[in-house]
Amino acid sequence: MQQSERAPEQALDWVRAGKGAVLATVIETWGSAPRRVGSQLVISGEGEMEGSVSGGCVEGAVVLEAKDVLEKGGTRVLEYGVSDGDAFAVGLACGGNIRIMVEPVGADGMAVEMLEQLVAARANRRAIAYEVALDGSERALREDGHAARFRMDRSGISEDGGSFVAIHNPPLRLVVVGAVHIAQTLVSMAQAAGFDPIVVDPREAFGSIARFPDAKIVNDWPDEALDEIGVDARTALVLLTHDPKLDDPALHVGLKSAAFYIGALGSSRTHAARVTRLQEAGFDAEQIARINGPVGLNIGAAGPAEIAVSIMAQIIQTLRRP
């Protein structure tokens, strides 16, 4: 998890250390606002900061509000934009507007117990939504009722306009079975896109730290490795070995999981043979249709790096499109 995404965890650490904490969250944007809805900045009672709500444009003004909230309590919704002289003075001159909710942790804000539950859910890779009325009068944590928001990873103002729904999804993961040349580029691209990469290959000469210095490596048979990893709805699974002895056991686990993306390398003929084997193993047409095979978008890719580009693009397309 990147440092900028650790606002709830940092807030809890500061509260437990007796410093107090205020959470500032982007709840709405217009135009070219620099941070997406749901981005957070946490401020301690000693003025420490982690995260960002504007890439530096309005942080100073938000920190002043946070200090005031720690002293007086209450939940506030702030708005900055180029038409606002105060906002212009702190640097938001990029043609956008932004609304930020500022709420303390503790009395007259988000209860410490609720923050603890939120942090625990995130640690256990449980998707959870934090609902808060814009006036701070009501707060709740829910693991259901926001299927579309969870699927699109989209926080936002509720349909009735009276509350904000903050979506806390587990970090994205990419599990690659087969530590081949394509995997080396794909892992680097996945990291740049915000995925935590895991490389699975029982062949230690292939799946080694020397070849994948920034990825978690599991030198075990794919089915056993995937059972241990736990393939969930925030996981993309890519099979690159070309070897049914490795790919098929991984597919058996993946097709029974909630993985949002499954892709398998190979030609159309290779995939047809794969489909036949899966049918013989008892998988139905709907399950098999989840496999993107041949893997990747059809962009005429040539060579390992371009194939990796096509795969990463297809993963993101699957993740972001309804």
| All residues at 6 or more sequence positions from 27 whose CB lies less than 8 Å from its CB, including other chains | 37, 77, 99, 100, 101, 134, 155, 156, 157, 164
**Pairing, β 196-200 against β 139-142:** unpaired
b or e along 219-232 (b: 16 or more beta carbons within 10 Å of the residue's beta carbon)? Answer: bbbbbebbeebebe
| All residues at 6 or more sequence positions from 61 whose CB lies less than 8 Å from its CB, including other chains | 78, 80, 86, 87, 90
Q: Which of 260, 252, 253, 299 is nearest to 279 (CA)?
A: 252
Model confidence at 112, in pLDDT bands (50, 70, 90)?
Answer: very high
Average pLDDT over residues 98-103: 94
Average pLDDT over residues 220-248: 94
Residue type, 77: V
Model pLDDT for residues 49-62, shown as the tens digit of each residue: 998 887 666 888 89
Q: Evaluate whether 22 touches 7 at the Cβ level (below 8 Å).
A: no
As a whole number of angstroms, the distance between CA 204 and CA 223 comes to 17
As a whole number of angstroms, the distance between CA 150 and CA 146 comes to 6
Q: Evaluate whether 240 touches 178 at the Cβ level (below 8 Å).
A: yes
As a whole number of angstroms, the distance between CA 114 and CA 13 comes to 14
Q: What is the pLDDT of residue 263?
A: 97
Q: What is the pLDDT of residue 45?
A: 92
Q: What is the pLDDT of residue 30?
A: 78
pLDDT of residue 246 exceeding 60: yes
Average pLDDT over residues 33-38: 79
CA distances from 147 to 121, 130, 144, 172 (A): 17, 14, 7, 17
Average pLDDT over residues 260-271: 95
Q: What is the pLDDT of residue 88?
A: 52
Tokens 């250390």 found at: 17
120 C-beta neighbours (distance < 10 Å), count = 12
Rounded to the nearest integer, the mean pLDDT of the chain is 90
Q: Which of 4, 283, 31, 233 is nearest to 127 (CA)?
A: 233
pLDDT of residue 133 exceeding 80: yes
Among the four given CATH numbers 3.40.50.720, 3.40.640.10, 3.30.360.10, 3.50.50.60, the one describing domain 173-320: 3.40.50.720
Q: Which of 315, 196, 293 is nearest to 240 (CA)?
A: 293
| pLDDT higher at 283 or 80 | 283
Q: Which DSSP helix (H) or strand (E) runs through 134?
A: none
pLDDT of residue 322 exceeding 90: no
As a whole number of angstroms, the distance between CA 72 and CA 108 comes to 9
Model confidence at 97, in pLDDT bands (50, 70, 90)?
Answer: confident
Q: What is the pLDDT of residue 297?
A: 97
As a whole number of angstroms, the distance between CA 227 and CA 224 comes to 5
Domain-wise residue ranges, the chain = 3-168, 173-320
Q: Evaluate whether 162 touches 133 at the Cβ level (below 8 Å).
A: yes
Model pLDDT for residues 168-189, shown as the tens digit of each residue: 999 899 999 999 999 999 999 9
Q: What is the pLDDT of residue 2?
A: 44
Which residues share a beta bridge with 132? 139, 164
Model pLDDT for residues 283-305, shown as the tens digit of each residue: 999 999 999 999 999 999 999 99
Ranges 69-83, 110-124, 170-184: which has the least confidence: 69-83
As a whole number of angstroms, the distance between CA 80 and CA 185 comes to 41
Q: What is the pLDDT of residue 33?
A: 62
Model confidence at 4, in pLDDT bands (50, 70, 90)?
Answer: very low
Q: To the nearest 10°, report the CA torsion of 180, 193, 200, 241.
A: -40
Q: Evaluate whether 187 touches 240 at the Cβ level (below 8 Å).
A: no
Average pLDDT over residues 196-223: 94
What DSSP string describes 231-250?
Answer: --TTEEEEE----HHHHHHH
pLDDT of residue 83 exceeding 70: no
Q: Which of 190, 146, 185 is nearest to 169 (CA)?
A: 146
pLDDT of residue 1 exceeding 80: no
Reported residue count of the chain is: 322
Q: Looking at residue 5, what DSSP letter applies? A: G
